[in-house]
Amino acid sequence: MGVFDSSGQELIDLLENVEDPEHIMAFRDTDVIIYIFEYPTWDSKSQQIMNDLQKLSDIIKDEEVGADLVVFIHKIDLIEKESRKSILKEITLQLKNQFKTTIYYTSIYPGFIYNLYNAFHDILSIFSKETIFIKRVLDEHLTDFSKTMYFITNKNNSIIAQSMTKDFKTEIINHTHKLVAQLTGTFEDMSLHSNIDHLILSSLNNFNLIMNNLNFRKRNLKNLICLSETLGSNKLIWAIGQIRQKLNNLYYLKKGKS
């Protein structure tokens, strides 16, 4: 992945001077163009923002770039909670009526940080059909649950797919990631000395965590982690079985086709 990050001062030249080498460098072979504006600037610079987006749309169309246009409305935590939904809806309608774009509402404020993570996860996932499938499998198994999160790691213990219910407490995501990182080493040591399929951790306030060894080494899928404040260990084990089965079907079918 290559990232071309321009300063605000350079943006006008970058968008208008099609002969400029930097213009060619920025847009040639581009898959995604991300335009970010902060909510506080919308009232004073909405027309400039619309003009910039129009120029980007023209570049995509006229130069046959074939890129997706993505807009981040950033710092949404600065909108009053009571009016946040209506204000974002109004801005979204204005943008959608004029441009073909995907819009994300982002902030680094603790209550919204997952929106930012999810935005980049969605964008990066479009380059991998396999990642999209894995994310979809996780999403499907959250439909009827609440306060629950699943994620899958690779051999480097990096998260490659994650999904959670809308009511999962975003402020504890970093804590749960750190907890899983600490448990991973212990789980690996235990697995080396005995045939352990999963590790269960339950707290006094009904928070349950299950780490399952997927063992799909050829596909670089290592562990499936399920966390929930509402589901017991038996229900989580059942969910893990369903997810594993769908992943097995995916890789079995691929192997059969090859």
pLDDT the model gives residue 1 = 65
Question: Which of 113, 93, 112 minimizes the C-alpha distance to 103?
Answer: 93
pLDDT of residue 257: 46
Q: What kind of fold does domain 129-257 have according to CATH?
A: Beta-Lactamase (3.30.450)
Which residue shows structure tokens 């902030």?
107
C-alpha distances in angstroms, 233 versus 163, 179, 186, 197, 206?
19, 18, 20, 14, 10
Is-contact 88 122, C-beta < 8 A? no
* Helical (H) or strand (E) element with 240: helix 233-257
Q: Which amino acid is at 190?
A: M
Residue intervals in the chain for CATH 3.30.450.30: 129-257
* Token output for 77: 């935590």
Q: Which CATH architecture has domain 8-125?
A: 3-Layer(aba) Sandwich (3.40)
The pLDDT score that the predictor gives to residue 258 is 39
Task: With CA atoms as reference, report the closest residue to 166 among 130, 122, 209, 118.
Answer: 118
- The model's pTM is 0.68
- Tens digits of per-residue pLDDT, 49-67? 999 999 999 988 876 777 8
Q: How far is the C-alpha of 57 from the C-alpha of 150, rounded, in Å?
A: 36
Low-confidence ranges of the chain (pLDDT < 70): 1-2, 4, 8, 63, 191, 193-194, 217, 251-258
C-alpha span between 117 and 107 (Å, rounded): 10
Check residue 193 and give its pLDDT: 67
Cα 57 to Cα 24, 34, 136, distances in angstroms? 16, 12, 29
- CATH 3.40.50.300 domain extents, the chain: 8-125
CB atoms within 10 A of CB 129: 9
